[in-house]
Amino acid sequence: MTKPKKIRIIDGIPICSVFKPQGIPASDLQEIVMSIDEFEALRLADYLGLEQQPAAELMNISRPTFTRLLGSARKKMAQMVVDGKKLCIEGGRIELRRHRCRFCGREWQKPSGFCPTCGEKHQPGFSGKINQ
Ligand SMILES: [Zn+2]
């Protein structure tokens, strides 16, 4: 029996969800799937440089879970580069972080750093469509 996975809170979805080596037909490429929560762990730790404990708290998961997600994401990145595989970023039990405007109090969950009511800028996020 595995216990149900906790929902991971993320700040945004990837700008680009498919990465493919140039000049190789798609039919010859092996595909690696990175979940969006793995991507978020990689973004927080390796892109933003956060320590694992605060990064795990941001995602609402335990530190061991964060470490496991990060390790898996790093391995997939390495496989993509070393083996020349196609990488797709999709899926995972995720929920976008809720933003609250400090001026008008409006709450929203879109991956946008701007309040939909008054346009005030908040933390930076990604732009893109949610495909879940
Ligand atoms: Zn507002």
Q: Which residue ranges make up each domain of the chain?
A: 8-97
Return the higher-pLDDT residue of 67 and 102. 67
Instruction: Give CA separation, 54 vs 35, 58, 92, 106, in Å.
Output: 20, 6, 21, 26
Q: What is the pLDDT of residue 83?
A: 92
Spacing, Cα 85 to ligand 1 middle (Å):
43
Contact present, 29 and 58 (Cβ < 8 Å): no
Spacing, Cα 120 to ligand 1 middle (Å):
6
Residue 6 backbone dihedrals phi, psi, to 5 degrees: -70, 150
Spacing, Cα 107 to ligand 1 middle (Å):
8
How high is the mean pLDDT of the chain? Answer: 83
Spacing, Cα 108 to ligand 1 middle (Å):
10
Mean per-residue pLDDT, 52-79: 96
Spacing, Cα 64 to ligand 1 middle (Å):
36
Report d(CA 76, CA 61) in Å as an integer.
Answer: 21
Spacing, Cα 100 to ligand 1 middle (Å):
8
pTM: 0.74
